[in-house]
Amino acid sequence: MWKPRPLMGLSEAFVEVDLHDWSLHEIVVRGGDFMHEVLLRVGEPERASGQAVREYWMTFREVRGFRMDIDLISKQLCSDAIASEDHAPVEDAPDFVDELDQRFRAQLSPEVPSREHLRIYIRLCPPSGSIEVLAKSASMSEIEGGP
């Protein structure tokens, strides 16, 4: 049985979590003092055995940016399902951070913030959309009591 494991920061190996057929229930953004977090409340796939479905918070810390392209009606019609996820250092997929850096330079300062982030990309079941997060670290914890 799969057990939740922490998603490591960039200094350690990233532990992959297979979110295929899990469901996305809630998105929370919070922060202040330049320490922003994005939280996703996700649930395990339904089980035929009748066992209760467990829910988890995926918490992304020190978030530089995130973007979502979600059709909420399609998401609901597709049972809120997640199709897949992947991750890579920003250097391997720099388009989003390049876009943020360009806006930052144009509006605030020629010196942009650190690019030492991990890019996490979550695809919802088509045609529902996607979520992309640039974060320095992440963790996953079970929500006590479940749904």
pLDDT digits (tens, 9 = 90+) for 11-61: 343 456 788 899 999 999 998 777 899 999 999 987 777 777 889 999 999
* pLDDT for 133: 93
Query: How far, in Å, CA of 74 to CA of 49, rounded?
Result: 28
* pLDDT for 15: 53
pLDDT digits (tens, 9 = 90+) for 70-93: 999 999 999 999 999 888 888 888
Judge whether 136 and 118 are in contact, CB under 8 Å.
yes
Q: What is the pTM of this model?
A: 0.81
Two structure tokens written together for 129: 């959309």
Question: Is pLDDT of 114 > 50?
Answer: yes
Q: ω before 126 within 30° of 0 (cis)?
A: no
Question: Is pLDDT of 5 > 70?
Answer: no
Full strand arrangement of the beta sheet holding 65-70: 65-70, 129-135, 118-124, 82-89
* pLDDT for 147: 55
Task: Return the biggest CA–CA distance within the chain.
Answer: 57
The contacts of residue 1 (CB under 8 Å, 6+ apart) are none
Query: How far, in Å, CA of 134 to CA of 63, rounded?
Result: 6
Residue type, 11: S
* pLDDT for 138: 86
* pLDDT for 2: 36
Question: Which residue, among 109, 112, 131, has the nearest Cα to 39 in the 3D structure?
Answer: 131
